[in-house]
Amino acid sequence: MSKRLEPSEIEERLAQLQGWEFVDNFIIKSFTFKDFKEAFSAMTRIAFECEKMNHHPNWENVYNTLVIKLSTHDAGGVTEKDFKLAQTIETIFTS
Ligand SMILES: C[C@H](O)[C@H](O)[C@H]1CNC2=NC(N)=NC(=O)C2=N1
């Protein structure tokens, strides 16, 4: 199992990612799309990657907005797996 990272390690890794922050034991980013269809389409693409990784986000979609919150439930905090998924999500948005 992945081990929970220390806040200082989390901040170090966040420096390599655009727009993610550490809040309440999650790494979080908010996205805004043109409309619901675009938001849900992005969620679908992300969902397939999550299934491959067996690692899943907490997220909230309201019409064209999506807030993604990542932590590793099994470890009770943020681990390398969350950074791997955050990186994958970034790749989806830039491809
Ligand atoms: C049984 C299954 O492998 C686990 O529950 C996986 C599934 N997806 C997961 N996703 C996240 N974010 N954290 C987990 O600890 C986790 N565990």
CATH number at residue 27: 3.30.1360.20
Which atom of ligand 1 is nearest to 74's Cα?
Answer: 15
In a domain, 21, yes or no: yes
Residues contacting residue 37 through CB under 8 Å, at least 6 positions apart: none
Residue 14: give the domain boundaries: 7-93
In a domain, 38, yes or no: yes
In a domain, 59, yes or no: yes
Mutate which of 4, 26, 56, 89 for ligand 1 pocket (most atoms within 8 A of beta carbon): 56
Entry pTM: 0.95
The burial of 73, by beta-carbon neighbours within 10 Å (0-12 exposed, 13-18 middle, 19 or more buried), is given as exposed
Q: How many domains does the chain have?
A: 1
pLDDT in tens, the chain (95 residues): 689 999 999 999 999 999 999 999 999 999 999 999 999 999 999 999 999 999 999 999 999 999 999 999 999 999 999 999 999 999 998 87
In a domain, 1, yes or no: no
In a domain, 2, yes or no: no
ipTM exceeds 0.85: yes
